[in-house]
Amino acid sequence: MSADAEIRNRPKVLVCDDDSSVRMLTRQCLEADDMDVVEAGSGAEAIEQFMAERPDLLFLDVEMPGMDGLEVCRRIRDLPQGGAIPIMIVTGSDDRETIDEGFQAGATQYKTKPVNWSLLSRDVQYMLRASNAFTALKRQEDRLRYLAYFDPLTNLPNRRSFTEQLNRILKRSQRQNHSAALLFIDLDNFKRINDSIGHGRGDKLLVEIAKRLTMELRQDDAISYMVEDEETEHDGSTEIARLGGDEFTVVLSEIDNITGVEAVAKRILHRLSQPISLHAYNPVVTPSIGIAVFPDDGADPDTLIRNADTAMYAAKAQGRACYRFYNE
């Protein structure tokens, strides 16, 4: 391992104490065990250094003039990057009330003065190992949740996520007496195109379709879709998902009338029908779109999905590259 890599792998500890001799002793103990130390002489400086240096652990004196250590701890916990960092507070009081106050402020561990310098490095290393183990576990949990709810190819929500979200949207729409629309999208002749260009390029084509859907419809997780024959905008949220293969869905909530839904369908149709550049290939993949509106075309998720799927097959029967609303 290079010297630069070793430096990057060394844990970084931010030491905050208004007493320079304490900072010096702490630095000597930690650097002797191959840790990097960043110093701060006040609470305000500690927050600045925390933002600039992104340390792995914070060693924090409670009794400081101005902003004390507990207030520093609270403020760092309120920062987006400060929620999980281990914080060791050092206090001259060993009564239960003071210690409880430290934990309530967000401390991970505490030490009472005078500090046993011979044990400090061991305690810091233990806190760092515990923090790393927690971070690894959290990362694994996040990964498992991602695999359960998202399509790894396109990064769109998967069928499970779509089903749960559709249930929530329809329940909310029913409570608030709003309409919602489900657009069921199936790519025309995808199997033939996939076989002709190869499955690797076929996957890239699906990724591009997902990107186009996202770029066209999503802006900060919501869309504003314009009703074409009116000047007013109607704000409604949208959920995009890939159910598998070449099937995608779009759910629009809080819609006022089908004219707005039709405007969205036209935008999707136009956007997805543009040629896709895949090295030497430039396939044109058109969508067939089936639309079902809640509650008229289905008062529950299963019925709405079934009717949107029926409308999609009607669009294919009509000649593909078009959209159809469900009609009994």
Give the residue numbers annotated as catalytic, written as ranges. 246
Using alpha carbons only, how large is the chain's radius of gyration in Å? Answer: 29
In angstroms, the CA 268 to CA 1 distance is: 51
Longest dimension (CA), the chain: 83
- Residues 6+ away with beta carbon under 8 Å from 120: 26, 29, 30, 111
Integer angstrom CA distances of residue 22 from 19, 27, 61, 69: 5, 8, 10, 15
| Closest of 88, 120, 118, 82 to residue 16, by C-alpha | 88
Which residues 6+ apart lie within 8 Å of 64 measured at CB? 16, 17, 18, 42, 43
Give the CA distances from residue 328 to residues 146, 163, 197, 245, in Å, rounded to whole numbers and listed in that order: 38, 24, 38, 27
